[in-house]
Amino acid sequence: FCIITAMFLTSCGEVENKSYEADLGSFFGDFSGAFVLYDYNNKFYIRHNEEQCTTRYSPCSTFKIPNSLIGLETGVIADENFVLQWDSVTRNREELNKDHDLQSAIKYSVVWYYQELARRVGEEKMRYYIDTLNYGNKDISGGLDKFWLDNSLKISAEEQVQFLYKLYTDSLPFSKRNMDIVKKIIIQDTLENGAVFSGKTGSNGTDLGWFVGTVQLGSNLYIFATNIVGDGANGMKARDITREIIKTLKIM
């Protein structure tokens, strides 16, 4: 892996983990992009655009990952099959206009499901878990059912990777059962080489796109976060960019 990528990686020194600055600008086109990847077994980071990697943005729908965990841990929802009834408000995507369980709600990024979930959790418990997780700037003042939607809560790509590291090493303040449920429902693909590609998109609908997740390849785990900023940026574009970078790195 290091030999394959050495042609465009520059060592940035070593503190606790080795860090490489990657020249990945060609993948982002006209967008300003950040990319962080952590190689679990080999204990090194790859970063593109280090300044943006540490800049906080709204998590948008990537917050569905901690929101799912909090809903499960508080007992508001029992498991991935917990159904919430559609509120009969017609929205701009047909798949939103029906009942959903947790698994389908995260797959189709059903905002109303997660807003209702947050309301059922309540402000006191939500604040407790956001503080305990040390999630970004921990600011939920923008409203219980919208603080993560281009509102008060902000998090960086670097912090997204740190959060996912704790999730995938079972070191978050949640039961292993609940962490396993969430890891299962964000699986996107299992590839021919056996790699399991997981993640969640996020977007503010105008100029910010996220994709955060992991690739499990054999006994190794790669944890990543990508964000893109600029006109037309969205989560699917961030996802496509991430896939191309990861393919170039020969991870999948």
Whole-angstrom Cα distance, residue 123 to residue 135? 15
Residues 6 or more apart in contact with residue 192 via CB below 8 angstroms: none
As given in the structure block, the two tokens for residue 190 are 């299992």
| Gyration radius from the chain CA atoms | 18
- Evaluated on CA atoms 231, 232, 235, 240, the torsion sign reads negative
Q: 214 φ, ψ to 5°?
A: -145, 160
61 catalytic per annotation: yes
Whole-angstrom Cα distance, residue 42 to residue 38? 9
Query: 72-100 burial by CB neighbour count: b if 16+ within 10 A, else e?
Result: bbbebbeebebebebeeeeeeeeebeeeb
Q: 241 φ, ψ to 5°?
A: -60, -45
Q: Are 22 and 33 spatial neighbours (Cβ–Cβ below 8 Å)?
A: no
- Which of 19, 61, 68, 198 is an active site residue? 61
Q: Helices in the chain by DSSP H: which ranges?
A: 2-5, 25-28, 50-53, 64-73, 102-107, 111-121, 123-133, 157-168, 176-185, 235-248
Q: Is 227 helix (H, G, I), strand (E, B) or coil?
A: strand
Q: What is the DSSP letter of 79?
A: S
As given in the structure block, the two tokens for residue 151 are 């509102």
Residues annotated as catalytic (active site), given as ranges? 61
